[in-house]
Structure 1
């Protein structure tokens, strides 16, 4: 390339959300005009078409082909790429979808659900045949109303009475089992390291913790409950640090995620507290590192890959027009060295 040559910038394509904003309508309305799926009044159609022309919006070629078939793509919404729990679920999903000829598009949930994301454009343009969501159900409700014909399945969080089928374990009972194990080991001051209770599973595990204490006639002490800022290891360290500051620290900790439990153990070690001799630590999930960490983590095991595989089977049933009932899979208490 000569010194005088110039690299011409690639023009940025307008998104469907930009068209909606210019026309003063919702993204769903733009999608209806472009795909002809529902009647739209003449004035609205004219505004949308004018915005499309002015912005140079081009519908994806794949979207234009949808009238003739399907994309064979499924979208998986993941809350946190750093958490190995979600990676294991995706492996389970992929074990089913690969055999059925479907590809996966993995997207970060909060970005996808933001107003101007490319993934959200794809959903409105029906560039995915269906969605497996590992995110909070509450975050999905607006989309479920706007795209009612797109099949969804919730994985990891039990949705209950929703029309969206889900695959989960009984989080409340699993927490009861975890705390009862600690009680049976002689612990009476048991702390809880929880996650944001915007997550249904976090609320259910918290409820199970309190139920187990009350059933054993042990007090529920608010100062022993710490809500971590997230579920990464560092958040476990932070939350455990607050417990260490108590005048009467707990003799055992139940963490609602293995990542929080491992972070707590690291915090205890830094101040010379031995696990499990000085403080027992119980985790939740049984992520791969749980058995190789020192001390190996006593935890509640979720059948993580089975959750993903079952969610994929449910979604494929929905795509085939078959009944798809929610499933509760079995958990197990895994006793190792930390408690």
Structure 2
């Protein structure tokens, strides 16, 4: 569900329009459409007429009015970093399906990476009672040291953080996240077993999930190989273009890597394109591993080896946790933090280490 209005001519349809066309009072329309019990009986014929007129006019009661009457709105808010990010596009669809299974529809908002925009969306969704609760997905352009943003977002305890890591961007809020450290170790250990030690990574320079993955990469390389060249860590925008450009830099080094670990699948796909354009065979000359297991990774060639985030489980746990919070079934001492298991998905983009 997106923000919008139903109009009659040049104006918004109201409960008065339904009442006038159905030949009843506004209070009768309200009682019929809300399903509220009434002391004065309303005939079946009147109920059917009101429902028919409301349907013909495409009228829906304001969710805030439902909330004021003591009923829930039947809506959950989902604020994501950016709608056009392929990972969040998949997450939106899965969360929507999970919410629908629980009898809720979804109101979607894009924060456009801006914490202030996210707060404005939160105020509309929660303070104006458009939604019963809120899911906040992904990192924004926020400071990990300043938790005032999270305090404002979750001030009435109807917020769950999703895929925002486990440390900097979670603060004192309930959260559902992947075990980033374990996922990175699964990927790098697989490359090491294939004989790779010149392993580069692409870092988006952001806090949250991607920062935790960079920390895990640095820890693994330090413990297993006593570190690696600084130039093997390339700062890149997490986009296809960012992965492409970073890979061109890596493969132009005097001693290029034999494997690249990308912080997400989008950068990994960009890396694959750059390697092929530069005449490198994947996986013959270069191995590439991603993180997320987006659907597209199955269909590119070579198919992408990656770390799977259990998208359905993340979405289900997040929705279930939020509904428990709405129902007052969750203790805040402390708030729950759920960490889900990653899985290594081996496809065709990795092979034994080669020297080129």
Q: TM-score, normalised by structure 2?
A: 0.72
- Distance in 2 (alpha carbons) for counterparts of 1:95 and 1:64: 25
1:97 aligned residue: 99
Partner residue of 2:183 out of 168, 174, 177? 174
Q: Which of 147, 152, 164 is matched with 1:145 structurally?
A: 152
Are residues 1:197 and 2:201 paired? no
Query: 2:317 matched to which residue of 1?
Result: 310
- Provide the C-alpha distance between the structure 1 equivalents of 2:63 and 2:230, rounded to a whole number of angstroms: 54
Residue 125 in structure 1 maps to residue 141 in structure 2: no
Q: How many residue pairs were aligned?
A: 282
Alignment partners' CA distance in 2, 1:89 and 1:308: 7
Residue number in structure 2 paired with 1:255: 262
The structural deviation recorded for 1:126 is 2.9
Answer with 291-300 or 127-136: which moved more: 127-136
**Looking at both structures, which has the greater relative contact order when contacts are Cα pairs under 8 Å and sequence separation is at least 6?**
1
Residue in 2 that maps onto 1:183: 192
Checking the alignment, whether the CA contact within 8 Å between 1:136 and 1:157 is kept in structure 2 is yes
**Moved beyond 6 Å, runs of 4+:** 8-11
User: 1:146-176 CA deviation, whole Å, 9 max, x = no partner?
Assistant: 7611501111123447331111111012111
* Counterparts of residues 79-94 of structure 1 (less than 5 Å): 79-94=81-96
Query: Corresponding residue for 1:293?
Result: 300
Q: Compared with structure 1, are the counterparts of its residues 238 and 93 closer, same or farther at alpha carbon in structure 2 (3 Å cutoff)?
A: same
Residue 211 (str. 1) matches residue 222 (str. 2): no
Secondary structure, aligned partner of 1:337: coil
Match of 2:64 in 1: 63
Q: 2: CA distance between counterparts of 1:118 and 1:61?
A: 19
Q: Which residue of 1 aligns with 2:290?
A: 283
Change (3 A) 1:63 1:112: farther
Contact 1:175 1:208 in 2 (8 A): yes
CA contact (8 A) 1:109 1:135 kept: no
The Cα RMSD (Å) is: 2.6
Q: Distance in 1 between matches of 2:347 and 2:248?
A: 24
